[in-house]
Structure 1
Amino acid sequence: MSTHLVRRASVGLLLVSSALAGCGDESGQDLRDPIEPVDVEYVGDGPARLFPDGSAPIRLTLRDGEISFTSSCNQFSGRASWDDGVLRTGALGGTEMGCPGLRQRQDEWMVAFFGSSPAVELDGTDLAIESEKDRVWFVPADEAPSGEPGDEADLVGTRWRLTGIGERDGDSTGMMVVPDDVTATIRFDSGEFAVRTGCNTGGGPAVVGSDEIRLGQFAVTLLPCTGVAGGVERAVTQVLQGGPAVSWAITGDELRLRARDGRHELVFHR
């Protein structure tokens, strides 16, 4: 068994996954070969030597001469080339969320790692990126293992804290990490839901189905909201008031609520 398949077993995901793909060719391929399965999202972990308590998954996309990557805080992107087996990036730009502790360290590590002109190698559909110090395996997001799916018993009676706000635009998805000093939560119980929007509080009726929640009209306080908290509140209300129902899915300790338009979603953790 190849070493990166062992790493697959430890990769944590924020996505619902399919079964693992096959082992691939042990000889490996680099990106100079005509097969270039890079127009997908990859997922990998930061190196254990730097993050002994566990890093958040790294989501990486290489597409049309551009690189984008994110973990649990900021999202970075820029021009890149990789057709000679070396990943070369131009100036990298990113969001500017202030994230303390492990999340800040992982952001700094990712920028240095991807900006170090690391070697790139393909083994089947898996992608290895190696700098002078670190080697990280990435697997296609739809082939990586996920946590156990949850059911209605997991959803109801749990206080879920908002950690991310997602928006899909065509084939790409952006994810904003909710800062620690903004509190937005939701709880479903006894046919009702209670929500903190990041600024105000409210609630209303909720009928939980197997894959969707039908929300009635809900009342909310009207405190003025500005800055990041105001942006979080707008995203929360956009999803919860975007239609008669939202879809829901639980994977491990993560809950995702998606608006009927399929473009906007809220990511919670318990």
Structure 2
Amino acid sequence: MRIAFAAVLLLVLPACGREAGPTDSGMLAFAPSGEYVVTAVTVDGADHALVEGSEARLSFDDGKLGITAGCNHLFGDYSLAGDRLTAGAIGGTEMGCPEPLMAQDTWLAKLFSGDVTIGRDPLTLTAGDTVLTLTPRADVHPDTTLLGTAWALDGLIEGDSVSSIPAGPPVVLTLSKRSASVTGLCNGFGADVTLTGDEITWTPGMRTLIACADPARQQLDTTVSGILAGATSYTIEEATLTLTNGKQGLTFRAS
């Protein structure tokens, strides 16, 4: 299955007040940056529970606001002045979800239809009688450690799209400071590795040349071994490891 990265835009809510623009950092005592988890909500002073099993997140990146509340990914521009945050029109992906989650999306986005006040220690956003307490995502869901983790392959990146891997044995990558191994391919894979910042340089060892019975798994073997050669960049976000080599890449989940 191949999934395009591009989002489908859907206008959700217009913003009231002035249009969002660049941040005037000189007027700010504090500016939120990065991704946060909503760890508490009060409405008119009373605790407000999110939909069971869901989690709300907000991200702030150089005037770009991201919102997730269990269904769609919502986004828009925002500006900051003093302790006030003003968002522009909120758009997002258009995906059908259970009604409670869709309603929660709308509720959270609507909070940004007017001015929002930023508080500190802890970080809070106040919109009318609603107060959101935010905690840095890395404090709530720390990134998995690269070394010593069993990373299960779950996606193949080609340009701007990602595809699932063919059925068969799980393909698992494990790294140490100087070496790496991959199990689950038709042929064994091992390599010496050098870690430098966010880059891994791979020097693969000798491999067997056993043909796979399934052509799709043969192609997987070729693709994985081709990407894990030379220099790759890597990122880890929570339990997801992404390796990229040019326009190709691999995604793994900690297992």
Q: TM-score, normalised by structure 2?
A: 0.50
Q: Structure 1 residues 148 and 120, CA, compared in 2 at 3 Å: closer, same or farther?
A: same
1:29-178 alignment runs, 5 A limit: 34-38=27-31, 40-45=33-38, 47=41, 49-55=49-55, 58-61=57-60, 63-64=62-63, 66-70=64-68, 74-83=72-81, 85-98=83-96, 107-115=105-113, 117=114, 119-123=116-120, 127-132=123-128, 134-139=130-135, 144=139, 146-147=141-142, 149-150=144-145, 152-155=147-150, 159=152, 161=154
- Contact 1:152–1:208 (CA under 8 A) maintained in structure 2: no
User: Shift in Å at residue 73 of structure 1?
Assistant: 5.6
User: Shift in Å at residue 86 of structure 1?
Assistant: 4.6
Work out the number of aligned pairs and report it. 201
In structure 1, C-alpha distance between the alignment counterparts of 2:242 and 2:53, rounded to whole Å: 28
- Structure number with the higher strand fraction is 2
The one-letter amino acid of 2:93's match is: T
- Contact 1:193–1:205 (CA under 8 A) maintained in structure 2: yes
Q: Structure 1 residues 221 and 210, CA, compared in 2 at 3 Å: closer, same or farther?
A: same
Corresponding residue of 2:11: none
| Root mean square deviation, CA, Å | 5.2
Q: Deviations over 1:212-254 (max 9, x none)?
A: 483869989469xxxxxxxxx9xxx6997385254567777x1
Corresponding residue of 2:240: 255
In structure 2, C-alpha distance between the alignment counterparts of 1:68 and 1:93, rounded to whole Å: 10
- Contact 1:240–1:259 (CA under 8 A) maintained in structure 2: no
The secondary structure found in structure 1 opposite 2:149 is helix
Percentage of matched positions with identical amino acids: 16
Q: Deviations over 1:141-181 (max 9, x none)?
A: 67x354374465431xx64545x98x9xxxxxxxx9x8xxx
In structure 2, C-alpha distance between the alignment counterparts of 1:248 and 1:161, rounded to whole Å: 15
Query: Gaps spanning 5+ residues in structure 2: where?
Result: 1-23, 42-47, 175-179
The one-letter amino acid of 1:51's match is: V
User: Shift in Å at residue 43 of structure 1?
Assistant: 0.8
In structure 2, C-alpha distance between the alignment counterparts of 1:71 and 1:210, rounded to whole Å: 39
User: Shift in Å at residue 49 of structure 1?
Assistant: 0.5
- Contact 1:213–1:248 (CA under 8 A) maintained in structure 2: no
The secondary structure found in structure 1 opposite 2:109 is helix
The one-letter amino acid of 2:75's match is: S
Query: Gaps spanning 5+ residues in structure 1: where?
Result: 1-30, 168-175, 196-201, 224-232
The one-letter amino acid of 2:62's match is: R
